[in-house]
Structure formats: structure tokens, C-alpha cells
Amino acid sequence: MEVFACQACGQVLYFENVLCERCGHSLGYLPDRATISAIEPDNEAWRALAASDVQYWFCGNTELGVCNWMLPVASGERLCIACRLNKTIPDIAVAENLALWAKLEAAKHRLIYSLLKLRLPLKNQADDPEGGLGFEFLDKDYVPHGQGVLTGHDNGTITIVLDEADDAKREHARVKLGEPYRTLLGHFRHEVGHYFWNLLVRDGGQIEAFRAVFGSEDQDYAAALQSHYANGPPADWQQNFVSAYASAHPWEDFAETWAHYLHIVDTLETARSFGITVKARGDFGLDKDAAIAFDPHSAPSIEQLVDQWLPLCFAANSMNRSMGHPDLYPFVLAPAAIGKLGYIHTLIQGNALGVAPGS
């Protein structure tokens, strides 16, 4: 993600900031300009220092503390492009649910930031009932769905179980499942991969190209998952997949690879924004130092991304270990996995809308 700065005083800002602690300006994210902006009151609306020619107002969810995005008054909309994707939100009459929802929205907004920067098609289900994207944030015992609600994707609707926003419960699940990595942002990136498989592969005439890389999706999905959980991944899974779970079925392989592609692009953008350069000392099997001098969202090839990613990961993992934390990126990218990332890269670049992000 880009590193932002207050237009009034230059203070470095986080994506989630709503107030500049140095100069006191209110802040809002402008998805149409892809930037955080200091803002000033302008009659019933706000004037953004980053876009003084447009009047903005805040998303209607701002007053609940779960969104800091803005939209042009002229749009007539009251919810931002990210919040308009919501179909079901938690019951905020339950006190702890509001804090959990805020964590879900923080991760979801980072996801939408990336999708907009990659210029991917992004429609909500109100505007496009057949092909749009929607989110449901549900308690695992949500009555209309019956018992046993699970995180997953179904025909454009992504469900995230509210328990995933509880750090202790999510960590318990990670350990129980033997996963090296489990985050809210990872869930969003994985599940949206299923959505874009439908949109870009199935409906985009790319089935044969997909099968040439990932194998046939025709194999029984339920049986494949049952076998994965009962028997685990194949012994040589690291030679062919980005994660153990990716080996369960070609659909999961695609979704996991899609998520890792977003991990890589977003983290490289952050490193580039900070001007981070990694000088590899000694022979670590790294062909090049990391000095990201290009926009990762429009890199010409997967090789350019991976050449920067590998030394950056080694450095970041080493720093995490120095603090006693797990690796930032606890995965190894074998040549076959890099080839699959290359497929995702080509698919995304070929389907970019080529227009500025909407509001």
C-alpha cells in the first residue's frame, strides 16, 4: 500500500487515520484519487486539500467508526464504493460486534484498495445482481443460514464468520488447522479469488488456459476437500503449490495463488513507497537486490515482481525473527508456484479496466 502524508503539514499517515495528530486536520480516504486527504469544512460538506475542485462527504458508515472513505457529493451516494458491497453486517446491538465489524472493514477496505489499484471490474450486487460482488459478515450461528455458517464464497457472495475478527479465536483456528498464516486480510484476498475465477476465468473464456496451469476443476470439489482434511497435502506439495491448502483442488489452488499475488503486490508497493532497498550480502540464492523502482500494480512481468519479492522477504523475515515473531511471509515459492503467479499476473493485467478508480 502507498504511504500517505497530510497535505497540510506533511505528517506521515496510516491508511486508517481519521485525524492528523500533528496539525489537527480531519482526514478521509478519496478512492477516486487513491489518496488520504486532509479535509476542511465546506458548508454542509468537506473540501479535500488533495482535490480542492470537488465537494466530498463521508461514507454513512463513518459515524459508526468502521469507515473513513469519502465520496463526491455530486455522486448522490451515501455509502462509499467499499461499503456498498455489504449485504449483511453484524448485529451492532451486541456491544462487542461493532469492534469486530470494524476489524473486518479495515481488512476489506485494504482489499478494495488493491482491486481498484489493479483496475479490476468491481460492481456490487445491487447494480449487478448476476455478476456483482457482495459481503456477508455473520455470526457462526446466524439463524437464517442455520447452524454452522462458514467463511467462503458462493456465486459472488463472500461470507466471513465474525469469529475470524476475534484474534484469539482466529489464532486457535490457525494452530488447530496447522496453518503458518491466517489473517482477516488473507481471508478476503483468498475468497475474492474465487469470485474473480468466476468472473475472469469461467465467464471470460479462459477455462482451457486455466486447466493448462492448475488442472481440471471438474474433479469433485467436496470429495477433494474431504480428502485434504482427512489425509493432508501430498508429500511434495511445496514443489507445486504456494500453500498446503492450495493442493486440495484447482479452485483452491487458484484462490490461494490469487491471494499470494495480492500479498506480493501490496507489500512491494509499501516497500517502494518507503524507498526500501535490500542489499543481499552473501549467497542467499538471490539474483538481485531489491530496489523497487516501478509500480507493482502495472509490472510488465511476474519475474520483475518476484526478483524484488525474494530479497525483500528474506530481509523482512529476518527482522521478524529478531523480534521473536513468526516470519512475515512463511512460504517458499517454488518455480511451479511462480509459474502459477505468472498466470494470475497475466490474467489481471489482461482484464484491467484501464480507467481511474471510481468513487
Cβ-based neighbours of 177, under 8 Å, separated by 6 or more: none
pLDDT (0 to 100) of residue 357: 38
Rg over alpha carbons for the chain, rounded to the nearest Å, is 21
Which helix (H) or strand (E) is 153 found in, with range?
A: strand 152-154
Please tell me the distance from the alpha carbon of residue 20 to that of residue 5, in angstroms, as a whole number: 9
**Which three-class secondary structure state does DSSP give residue 212?**
helix
List Cα–Cα distances, 199 to 86, 115, 151, 156, 331, in angstroms.
Answer: 19, 14, 20, 9, 28
Q: What is the pLDDT of residues 68-105, one digit of tens each?
A: 999 999 999 999 999 999 999 999 999 899 999 999 99
The domain ranges of the chain are 4-80, 82-204, 206-359
pLDDT (0 to 100) of residue 280: 67
For strand 12-13 and strand 4-5, is the pairing parallel, antiparallel, or unpaired? Answer: antiparallel
Please tell me the distance from the alpha carbon of residue 137 to that of residue 6, in angstroms, as a whole number: 32
Q: What is the pLDDT of residues 241-281, one digit of tens each?
A: 999 999 999 999 999 999 999 999 999 999 999 999 988 66
**What is the mean pLDDT of the segment spanning 123-141?**
93
Q: What is the pLDDT of residues 179-199, one digit of tens each?
A: 999 999 999 999 999 999 999
pLDDT (0 to 100) of residue 24: 96
Share of the chain above pLDDT 70, in %: 93
Q: What is the pLDDT of residues 96-105, one digit of tens each?
A: 999 999 999 9
**What is the mean pLDDT of the segment spanning 321-328?**
96
Cell of 182: 491466517
Please tell me the distance from the alpha carbon of residue 77 to that of residue 57, in angstroms, as a whole number: 10
Residue of higher predicted confidence among 223 and 285:
223
Task: Please report which confidence band the pLDDT of residue 138 belongs to, taking 50, 70 and 90 as the band edges.
Answer: very high
Burial tier of 266 (Cβ tally within 10 Å: 0-12, 13-18, 19+): buried
Share of the chain above pLDDT 90, in %: 86
